[in-house]
Amino acid sequence: MTRAKGAAMRRIQAGNALSAFGLGFTVPYLYVYVAQVRELGATTAGVVLAVFAMAALAVLPFTGRVVDRRGPLPVLVGAALLASAGAAGLGLATDVPAAVGSATLLGAGTAVMQPALATMIVWCSDATTRTRAFATQFFLQNLGLGIGGLIGGHLVDESRPSSFTLLFGIEAVMFLVLAGMALTIRLPRPGAPAGARPTAPGGGGGLRALLGHRAMVQLLVLGFVLFFACYGQFESGLAAYGTEAAGIAPATLGTALAANTAVIVAAQFLVLRFVERRSRTKVIASVGLIWAVAWLAAGYAGLGHGGQAMATAAFISTYALFGLGESMLSPTVAPLVADLAPASMVGQYNSAFALVKQLALAVGPAVGGPMGATLHGPYIVTFVLFSLGITALALRLGRRLAPEQDRPWLATSSRVVAVHVPGGEVRPGAPEAPRSPASAGSR
């Protein structure tokens, strides 16, 4: 990585941490703030949370094309300003329209940030650095969320609305700092990732081109299952199952989430050394097996007969095992999205994957919450099967990828070029013939 790219990458990663810190600062307290502090009621609080999520679903289908046409930098700056306005508005909201409108701005702004930041990482990395760059992004996001939540929890006081106004005000300032930091970044011109298609089929782009790329479609399906079976259950189905079936105290839920974050922070770079030289799809397949064990531990916590202490330990272990799997996914899935994308559609591919994630996070609680609260045995069996499905889908995807897409280190040790076949599948071709000086100069 050149010095200019390295400097840009450091600013991008700092931006990742800032955006995560801002979200961790307020989102955990959004329901309490709207329902109790502003006394707008539980129904309004539920609407605000729903609008926060739906705003992301509304803007993400259009984000990628704007990123590819205008570049990720102006998109990131605009999203940060939008999120800042939403945060400031929530801090001052005293009625339903103000709360709903501000939540819409905040949800839309924070949703757009992620594909913009991911595209900036792609532009500033190559096959040798992209895996570590996305692992660092995930590490800093979790660190920012954890620190933000911890500090925010010490600042808020339900008896003083002004403490929440301060909280949202600080969040708004964080997004302004992010926008200012983004304006100092000098992005290099993007290059096509190793093994990726240099252009979309027929030279075009858009949804039709993306859906014609079979490997990407398979990755989107895999991504939905990943997020549905893990993140979509954290604060809904699994929490409901833990309290209803395993008798877990609410305070223990916080401990379990802390264990999840601690494993990610402690294991991320240790795991990175393990996965960097291994097949991406086999790493994802192993995550499915780890999460199947995690769900079996949850099953023991709620359905076993080992006593409350054993149930609590098993339940916390579930979240810790999820964290281990997450730390294995961060260096594999996001870089794979980037390496599958044509050079002209990196933003659209990142936005499509972010949209799938958001859909899974919306559907996951709706399905898992009622099941986890009432259908304890079927709930565990369902998600053990989903986890095993991750393994099957990952291994199937591996058969469709070019060698340097599944094992990116090959891009630096081999001169095999990608051959494009109908349907968007990429297969390895013959070794590239050496160029003569004349032909090299004509390019």
**Residue 214 vs residue 246, higher pLDDT:** 214
- pLDDT at residue 432 greater than cutoff 70: no
Look up residue 32 and give its two tokens.
Answer: 């309490």
**In the beta sheet, which residues pair with residue 209?**
none
Q: Give residue 77's pLDDT.
A: 94
* CA pair distance 71, 61, nearest whole angstrom: 16
Please give the mean pLDDT across all residues of the chain. Answer: 83
What size, in residues, is the chain? 443
pLDDT band at 411 (very low <50, low <70, confident <90, very high): low
Q: Which of 114, 99, 106, 54 is nearest to 82 (CA)?
A: 106
What is the tally of helices (H) and strands (E) in the chain?
18, 2
Look up residue 92 and give its two tokens.
Answer: 């001052």
Look up residue 89 and give its two tokens.
Answer: 């508005």
* CA pair distance 47, 30, nearest whole angstrom: 11
Backbone angles phi, psi at 428, to 5 degrees: -70, 140
**What residue type is assigned to position 389 of the chain?**
G
Kindly report the pTM of this predicted structure: 0.80
Coil, helix or strand for 428? strand
Q: Give residue 184's pLDDT.
A: 87
- How does pLDDT run across 164-216, given as a tens digit for each residue? 898 899 889 989 989 998 888 888 765 545 444 545 544 456 788 888 899 99
Q: Is residue 429 within a helix (H) or strand (E), and if so which, with residue range?
A: strand 426-431
- pLDDT at residue 290 greater than cutoff 90: yes
- pLDDT at residue 115 greater than cutoff 70: yes
- pLDDT at residue 48 greater than cutoff 90: no
Q: Give residue 151's pLDDT.
A: 81
